[in-house]
Every structure is written in C-alpha cells, then in structure tokens.
C-alpha cells in the first residue's frame, strides 16, 4: 500500500506563522513571503496544509528526529508518570515527569506549550486562508476537504492540550497581530465543545477510507469517540457521553474500512504501517529525509543503535511485564529480554533456547518497533506513529457499552476477546466478571497490554479514575531507577502546571491550582 508521508514543503510559509505564534506572539512577526500571494491553487494549498500536519505530528507523536530525546506529547504526557516505563537516574527530565515533580519552570513543559499553539495557529491559518480561496482557484470540494483535515488536526491538538493543562486559551482564529497576544484561559468544557465541533465538521466532509497518513471520516469519528469517552471522566464527569461514543464507534466498525491484522507484530513493522488496522498514524520517513521519528530508538534493547537497540535510558515497569500471559504474543513483541547486538529481531522474537534472555526486571526494555540489523537510523527512524488503530476502537466500544450496562457475551467476544485471541492470550470468560467495575478493570488492563508505548495510558487511567491508585502502587526496588512517584503525588497533578514563561509574558493567564 502506498504510504503518504507528511513533510513541510513550504517552510517559507511556515515562517509567517511560526515566527509570530511562539509564546503567544512575544516576538515581532517576520514575514518573508505573503501567503495570499503564494497560496493560489490546489497544489499550493496542499503544501500549506502539509505544514499543519508537520507541526502537529512533531508535537503529538513520540517526537521527530528534530526533537531528539523522545520529546513528543505521546512520551512526556502519555507514557511517563504512569506504569509503563521507569527512567534511570541519569535521565533527569524523564525522571521529573515520572515522579510528578514537573515545575512551571521545566523547559520541556514550555516547549510543549509553545509547539502546541504554534501548530494550532498553523491549522487556524489553513482554515482561514484556504477558506478564502475563490472557486476559480480551487474546487469547492478540495477546499472543504483541506479545511476538514485542518480541523481534525486542530481538534487533536486541543484534545491533548486540554487533558495536559485543562485551563487553556481557546484560539480558533489565525493570530497575525501583536494586539492578540494577551488571551485568557477557557474552561475545559468549552475547549471540549470546540474539539467536538471540529471533529463533527471533519467527519461530515472527509471520505471513509484508510487515509495513508491523512485525516479521514473514520479517523474523525474514532477520535470523536475517544473525546466523548474522556469526557465521562475527570474533569467533565458526564456519563451521558458513553452513548455518544457508542454511536461514533458503531459507524467506524460498520464502515468495513478497518480490521485487525492477522498478526499483532505486523502492525508495527515497516511493511504494514498504513494497513487496514491503522485508522490514523503520524507519517514518518527516515533516515535523512527530514521526516524521521524516534520509534525503535526511543525504546529498544540494549546495544548499539545500528544493531536495532534503543537509548537504554528506561526500562519496562515490571508489573506490566508480569501482566502478560507467558504465551501472549504481545509480551515477546513489546518487551526485549536480550541485547540487540547479539541477535536479529527474528532470532530474539523466536523461542530459540540458544537466545540468552535476562530475568532481571530492570533489564526489560520496550521493543514494540523492531529496527533492522544493521541499520543507519540512529534517531531518525522510518516507523510511523500509530495514533488510533482498530484494536483501540474495539476496546473503546466495549468501554462505551459497559458504561451503559449494555455489554453482552457476544459484544465481549467481538471486542475484548477478539483482541486477545489475535495475540494468543486466553479469552476472558464473560460470566466470570460481575458488574460494571469488574468489566471496566478488565478493559483497562487490556488497553494497557495492547496499547503499551502508544501514548494513551495516562488518558486511560484518568478517565477510569485509576490514576492515583496506580501511582501510589508503583514500587520499583532498583537502585539505578528514579525514586517512586508516590511520595510526590497529589490530586492536582492530574494536570500539568502552566509554564512560567507563558505566565510572565501573558498577564491574563493564571496558574493551575496546587502549583
């Protein structure tokens, strides 16, 4: 299947927006080219949209090759500070996120804030400028499709931002003047309302297909379902959204566009990146193509990068490794017990008794994306970043039904057990579970096993009301690891602090309570 990779092809256009949106327009705009003169037809409009994809991808994925250190929101917000990875003591930034001691002065925090609003402003610019193109320059259908894709991206950015900070400015018009820098924060319900509207707008326009790296109707519907389900938990806490999520998920499933791949490990290899299981993934292309990513080098076995290893700066939480059944294919695919220098991925993944495997929990490393051996990827890898996939949709559907006490044996087997059987895990007997809470616990556990390292764990724990329980239960007895987060935990840490530089430069912003 042909795979579309998103790259910034017109950087001169981005300078118009990026230079003036950083930190809510604290810098004087520097205009090297007039977008109205350069965006004149479908081709140039597509190139301008690519800039929005590029900025959104770099912010919401695990990180691009331009952001060394796994600095995307999928890492700092989605993976660290929960029960997936444990950083070693030499990784100070990861350690602060893991321990929940992130201060408003943390540079990585400020970077996420700045990149979020830079990407949002690029989406706003696409919506405004392509929307102003006359019919004799671009067909209305093409214009509407580009705007819809930009709205999907904007919704994705705001969805993650409102989870991370909760009280954030809501800006839906292109910022082009220094008169607009002192914006005020908006309550979470209003941000969610905008996210919902953007995704409804996108799904009403976009085609139902596998997008090959582009937003589609199915991607908008699936993300909207995620949004609805997140709103059943903190801070909205409205269970009426279960039914709305069910409706969106049923449309995705009924479309027939998506399906589980036959083998779990295929989902994460280079031959199946934009497969029928992928509803949306951030496109990456590396090395040396200015579009590479961090996957496989961010988390991988010890050894040298050219032999398929990772950075060796964090290991898998032992309780996660223990949660897998021994014959669950996901365990061997997601967790490395070996040194990458010694074996090929095929050898290490097999049951060959000659492959040496460690039994030391602090030597278990993430291994979801298997880099070739040898390779020249370094930290510029070609693996696409899954954002939403069909296994996710099936588990979300079970969650939506359970929230309404509508689960049946049939739907349980078609969702949770279907995902488990694909990986050779023992089906869970429906009648062995009693009541909504036991079903919810089983679904949450399955999401942990299936979605390890994909960036959604923290959102799941917050939504299910399990964040504090999990944090207080982390107990890693390993001298080289960062201390456990429990002593630093407090309920207000369900969200990040507003970065101090943003507060200093915009007097209308207020710090989140507790910080």
Residue 26 maps to which CATH number? 1.25.40.390
Tell me: pLDDT of 364 over 70: yes
Quick one: pLDDT at residue 23?
40
Contact between residue 110 and residue 501 where contact means Cβ atoms under 8 Å apart: yes
Contact between residue 359 and residue 484 where contact means Cβ atoms under 8 Å apart: no
- Distances in whole angstroms, Cα of residue 423 to Cα of each of 164, 253, 263, 318, 324: 32, 20, 7, 20, 11
Quick one: pLDDT at residue 13?
38
Let me know if residue 106 belongs to a domain: yes
Enclosing H/E stretch for 156: helix 140-165
Quick one: pLDDT at residue 35?
64
Do residues 372 and 490 both lie within one domain?
no
Do residues 50 and 172 both lie within one domain?
yes
Range of the domain at 327: 305-385
pLDDT band at 67 (very low <50, low <70, confident <90, very high): low
Do residues 68 and 177 both lie within one domain?
yes
Write down the mean pLDDT value for the chain: 90
Tell me the percentage of the chain whose pLDDT exceeds 70. 91
Q: Is 338 exposed, middle or buried (0-12, 13-18, 19+ CB in 10 A)?
A: buried
Kindly state the average pLDDT of the residues 327-332.
96
Q: What are the pLDDT digits (tens) for 271-326?
A: 999 999 999 999 999 899 888 998 988 878 999 999 999 988 899 999 999 999 99
pLDDT band at 213 (very low <50, low <70, confident <90, very high): very high
What 3-state DSSP class applies to 169? strand
Let me know if residue 37 belongs to a domain: yes
Contact between residue 63 and residue 70 where contact means Cβ atoms under 8 Å apart: yes
Tell me: pLDDT of 351 over 70: yes
Kindly state the average pLDDT of the residues 361-381.
92
Tell me: pLDDT of 27 over 50: no
Tell me: pLDDT of 29 over 70: no
Let me know if residue 420 belongs to a domain: no
Q: Structure tokens of 241?
A: 């959204």
Q: For residue 64, what are the contacts with CB-CB under 8 A and spacing of at least 6?
A: 57, 58, 72, 284, 291, 292, 293, 294
Kindly state the average pLDDT of the residues 348-368.
90
Let me know if residue 211 belongs to a domain: no
Residue with tokens 């899954």, as numbered in its chain: 386
Per DSSP (E only), the strands in 39-180 are: 85-87, 168-169
Q: Of 332, 361, 385, which closes a domain?
A: 385
Among the listed ranges 110-114, 134-138, 287-291, which one has the minimum average pLDDT value?
Answer: 287-291
Quick one: pLDDT at residue 382?
94
Let me know if residue 97 belongs to a domain: yes
> Residue 96, Cβ neighbours under 10 Å: how many?
21
Do residues 146 and 22 both lie within one domain?
yes
Do residues 82 and 190 both lie within one domain?
yes
Tell me the percentage of the chain whose pLDDT exceeds 90. 79
Do residues 23 and 144 both lie within one domain?
yes
Beta bridge partners of 278: 389
Quick one: pLDDT at residue 180?
57
Let me know if residue 344 belongs to a domain: yes
- Label residues 15-39 b or e (16+ Cβ within 10 Å = b): ebbbbbbebbbbeeeeeeeebeeeb
Quick one: pLDDT at residue 479?
86
pLDDT band at 477 (very low <50, low <70, confident <90, very high): confident
- Sign of the C-alpha dihedral computed for residues 198, 203, 204 and 205 taken in this order: positive
Q: Structure tokens of 20?
A: 């003036």
Q: CA nearest 320: which of 451, 462, 228?
A: 451
What's the total number of domains in the chain?
Answer: 2
Let me know if residue 174 belongs to a domain: yes
Let me know if residue 234 belongs to a domain: no
Contact between residue 24 and residue 502 where contact means Cβ atoms under 8 Å apart: yes
* Angle (deg, nearest 10), helices 188-205 and 140-165: 150
Contact between residue 381 and residue 292 where contact means Cβ atoms under 8 Å apart: yes
Do residues 495 and 377 both lie within one domain?
no
Q: Check residue 363 and report its DSSP letter.
A: G
pLDDT band at 4 (very low <50, low <70, confident <90, very high): low
d(CA 99, CA 490): 11
Do residues 174 and 51 both lie within one domain?
yes
pLDDT band at 379 (very low <50, low <70, confident <90, very high): confident
Tell me: pLDDT of 26 over 70: no
Q: Of 344, 363, 385, which closes a domain?
A: 385
Q: Of 385, 419, 446, which closes a domain?
A: 385
- Distances in whole angstroms, Cα of residue 22 to Cα of each of 28, 64, 423: 10, 19, 45
Q: Check residue 238 and report its DSSP letter.
A: -
d(CA 141, CA 45): 13
Do residues 201 and 314 both lie within one domain?
no
- Start-to-end CA distance of the chain, whole Å, equals 48
Do residues 324 and 200 both lie within one domain?
no
Quick one: pLDDT at residue 34?
60
Among the listed ranges 43-57, 144-158, 334-348, which one has the minimum average pLDDT value?
Answer: 334-348
Among the listed ranges 23-32, 235-244, 494-503, which one has the minimum average pLDDT value?
Answer: 23-32
Q: What is the pTM of this model?
A: 0.94
Contact between residue 370 and residue 269 where contact means Cβ atoms under 8 Å apart: yes
> Residue 355, Cβ neighbours under 10 Å: how many?
14
Quick one: pLDDT at residue 36?
67
Beta bridge partners of 169: 185
Do residues 356 and 500 both lie within one domain?
no
Quick one: pLDDT at residue 241?
98
For residues 80 and 420, the model is more confident at 420
pLDDT band at 38 (very low <50, low <70, confident <90, very high): confident
Quick one: pLDDT at residue 28?
38
Quick one: pLDDT at residue 297?
86
Tell me: pLDDT of 16 over 80: no
- Sign of the C-alpha dihedral computed for residues 250, 450, 162 and 436 taken in this order: positive
Quick one: pLDDT at residue 32?
43
Kindly state the average pLDDT of the residues 190-218.
97
Per DSSP (E only), the strands in 41-192 are: 85-87, 168-169, 185-186
Tell me: pLDDT of 69 over 60: no
pLDDT band at 413 (very low <50, low <70, confident <90, very high): very high
Tell me: pLDDT of 267 over 80: yes
Quick one: pLDDT at residue 30?
39
């Amino acid at each position: 299947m042909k795979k579309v990779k998103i790259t910034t092809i017109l950087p001169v256009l981005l300078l118009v927006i990026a230079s003036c949106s950083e930190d809510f327009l604290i810098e004087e705009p520097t205009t090297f080219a007039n977008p109205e003169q350069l965006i004149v037809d479908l081709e140039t409009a597509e190139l301008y949209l690519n800039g929005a994809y590029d900025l959104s991808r770099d912010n919401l994925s695990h990180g691009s090759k331009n952001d060394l250190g796994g600095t995307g929101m999928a890492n700092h917000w989605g993976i660290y500070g929960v029960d997936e990875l444990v950083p070693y003591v030499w990784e100070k930034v990861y350690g602060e996120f893991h321990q929940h001691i992130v201060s408003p002065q943390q540079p990585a925090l400020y970077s996420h804030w700045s990149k979020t609003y830079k990407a949002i402003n690029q989406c706003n610019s696409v919506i405004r400028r392509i929307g102003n193109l006359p019919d004799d320059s671009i067909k209305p259908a093409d214009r509407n499709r580009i705007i819809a894709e930009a709205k999907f991206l904007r919704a994705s950015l705001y969805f993650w931002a409102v989870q991370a900070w909760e009280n954030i400015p809501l800006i839906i018009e292109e910022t082009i003047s220094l008169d607009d820098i002192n914006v005020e924060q908006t309550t979470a319900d209003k941000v969610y309302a905008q996210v919902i509207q953007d995704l409804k707008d996108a799904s009403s326009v976009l085609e139902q297909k596998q997008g090959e790296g582009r937003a589609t109707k199915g991607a908008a519907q699936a993300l909207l379902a995620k949004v609805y389900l997140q709103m059943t938990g903190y801070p909205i806490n409205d269970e009426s959204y279960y039914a709305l999520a069910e409706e969106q998920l049923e449309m995705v499933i009924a479309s027939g566009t998506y399906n589980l791949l036959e083998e779990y490990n295929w989902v994460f290899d280079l031959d199946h990146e934009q497969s029928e299981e992928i509803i949306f993934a951030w496109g990456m292309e590396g090395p040396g193509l200015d579009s590479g990513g961090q996957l496989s080098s961010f988390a991988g076995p010890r050894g040298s990068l050219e032999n398929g290893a990772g950075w060796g700066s964090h290991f898998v939480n032992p309780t996660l490794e223990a949660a897998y059944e021994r014959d669950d294919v996901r365990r061997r695919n997601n967790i490395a017990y070996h040194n990458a220098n010694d074996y090929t991925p095929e050898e290490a993944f097999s049951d060959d008794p000659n492959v040496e495997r460690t039994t030391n929990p602090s030597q278990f490393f993430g291994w979801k994306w298997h880099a070739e051996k040898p390779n020249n990827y370094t930290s510029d890898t070609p693996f696409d970043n899954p954002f939403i996939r069909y296994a996710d949709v099936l588990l979300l559907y079970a969650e939506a039904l359970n929230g309404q006490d509508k689960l049946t044996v049939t739907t349980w087997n078609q969702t949770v057990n279907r995902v488990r059987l694909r990986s050779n895990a023992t089906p869970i007997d429906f009648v062995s579970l009693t009541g909504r809470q036991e079903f919810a616990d089983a679904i949450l556990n399955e999401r942990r096993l299936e979605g390890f390292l994909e960036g959604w764990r923290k959102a799941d724990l917050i939504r299910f009301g399990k964040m504090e329980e999990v944090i207080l239960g982390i107990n890693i007895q390993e001298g080289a690891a960062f201390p456990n987060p429990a002593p630093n935990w407090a309920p207000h840490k369900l969200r990040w602090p507003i970065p101090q530089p943003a507060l200093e430069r915009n007097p209308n912003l207020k710090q989140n309570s507790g910080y």
